[in-house]
């Protein structure tokens, strides 16, 4: 290698960083414009690129958001921890490939949950919808529900239980999850079962979302189901059972 050649720090475009963090490119541009958390370099074509320090600040902001900080507080924390004039931080290792993931898939689920949480906390509906679709496609409906969607919903619900501030994030995510589960439920022309599986909530149940996850999973196996998404009085449920038998 010639003496004049050198190595430059790897950089990433906006789209790649957005995928890494699980947010939309427009969200990154907003964080850049409002809080100064943008790329510090650009190419000759004026395409701005993120270096390792830029990405490190965004990941600090992401962790602060997951801890319950507001967007402004998270941005301030990231800039305090890694000032833009500070020395570049070493780039963190890339996400592990499928071959390096633990046998139980916990690393994959953790990565998807972090990205989904970040998108929800940023109130980025488009990113949430894409993350839900990608998660269901990658894991399957039932593993996605039990390993990612339900834990994230529960964590957000527990964080803001009894308070109004921040609850909008939980409601937004719940609506998106509901829509994603409905979209993931194919319409069966010829199900394997001659009589549908009856899925319904008893009066004491308030959360019907698991029923939608189960219905989608059954439909993926070509098993037809009849779903009642609202709690049914016992006598109404009994009639439904008789009519479905």
Q: Domain tally for the chain? A: 3
pLDDT digits (tens, 9 = 90+) for 211-222: 999 999 999 999
Q: What is the rounded distance in angstroms from the CA atom of residue 81 to the CA atom of residue 105? A: 32
Same domain membership, residue 60 and residue 43: yes
Q: What confidence category does residue 179 fall into, taking pLDDT thresholds of 50, 70 and 90?
A: very high
* The pLDDT of residue 30: 83
To the nearest whole percent, how much of the chain has pLDDT over 90? Answer: 19
Strands 48-50 and 12-13: antiparallel
* 14 and 35 share one domain: yes
Do 202 and 177 share a structural domain? Answer: no
* More confident of the two residues 231 and 101: 231
- pLDDT higher than 80, residue 126: yes
Q: Are residues 194 and 225 in the same domain?
A: yes
Among candidate residues 17, 52, 87, the one where a domain is terminated:
87
Asked if the structure places residue 2 within a domain, the reply is no
Q: Is residue 3 part of a domain?
A: no
- 91 pLDDT band, cuts 50/70/90, is very low
pLDDT band for position 66 (cuts 50, 70, 90):
low
Confidence of residue 1 (pLDDT cuts 50, 70, 90): very low
| Confidence at 88, pLDDT banded by 50, 70, 90 | very low
Mean pLDDT of the chain: 79
**Proportion of the chain in helix, strand, coil states, percent, rounded to 5:** 55, 10, 35
pLDDT 10s digits, 29-45: 888 888 888 887 665 55
Q: Which of the two residues, 102 and 108, has the higher pLDDT score?
A: 108
Residue 79 belongs to a domain = yes
53 pLDDT band, cuts 50/70/90, is confident
**Residues 120 and 140 grouped into a single domain:** yes
User: Residue 151 in contact with residue 113, Cβ under 8 Å?
Assistant: yes
Residue 97 placed within a domain: no
Task: With respect to residue 94, please indicate whether it lies within any of the assigned structural domains.
Answer: no
Q: Does 95 map to a domain? A: no
Question: Is the dihedral angle over the CA atoms 37, 42, 45, 46 positive or is it negative?
Answer: positive
Q: How does residue 160 score in pLDDT terms, banded at 50, 70 and 90?
A: low
Residue 198's domain comprises: 187-244
Do 118 and 65 contact (CB within 8 A), yes or no? yes
Q: How far is CA 34 from the centre of its chain?
A: 23
Tell whether 132 is covered by a domain: yes
Q: Do 69 and 108 belong together in one domain?
A: no
In this structure, the answer to whether residues 196 and 174 fall within a common structural domain is no
* End residue of a domain, out of 184, 208, 223: 184
Q: Kindly list the distances between the CA atom of residue 93 and the CA atoms of 86, 110, 117, in Å, as whole numbers in the listed order.
A: 21, 16, 21
Give yes or no: residues 78 and 13 share one domain: yes
Alpha carbons 31 and 35: distance in angstroms, whole number: 5
Are 120 and 52 found together in one domain? no
């Amino acid at each position: 290698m010639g003496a004049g050649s050198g190595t430059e720090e790897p950089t990433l475009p906006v789209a790649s960083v957005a995928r890494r963090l699980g947010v939309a490119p427009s969200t990154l541009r907003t964080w850049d414009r409002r809080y100064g958390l943008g790329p510090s370099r650009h190419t000759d074509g004026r395409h701005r690129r993120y270096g390792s320090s830029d990405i490190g600040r965004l990941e600090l902001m992401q962790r602060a958001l997951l801890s319950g900080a507001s967007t402004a507080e998270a941005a301030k924390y990231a800039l305090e921890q890694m000032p833009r004039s500070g020395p570049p931080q070493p780039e963190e290792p890339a996400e592990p490939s499928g071959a390096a993931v633990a046998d139980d898939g916990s690393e994959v689920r953790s990565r998807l949950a972090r990205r989904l949480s970040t998108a929800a906390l940023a109130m980025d509906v488009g990113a949430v919808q894409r993350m839900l679709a990608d998660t269901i496609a990658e894991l399957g409906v039932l593993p996605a529900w039990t390993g990612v969607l339900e834990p994230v919903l529960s964590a957000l619900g527990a964080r803001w239980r009894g308070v109004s501030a921040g609850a909008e994030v939980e409601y937004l995510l719940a609506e998106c999850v509901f829509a994603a589960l409905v979209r993931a439920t194919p319409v069966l022309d010829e199900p394997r079962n001659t009589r549908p599986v009856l899925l319904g909530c008893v009066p004491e149940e308030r959360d019907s979302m698991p029923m939608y996850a189960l219905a989608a999973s059954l439909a993926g196996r070509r098993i037809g189901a009849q779903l009642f998404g609202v709690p049914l009085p016992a006598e109404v449920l009994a009639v439904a059972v008789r009519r479905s038998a």
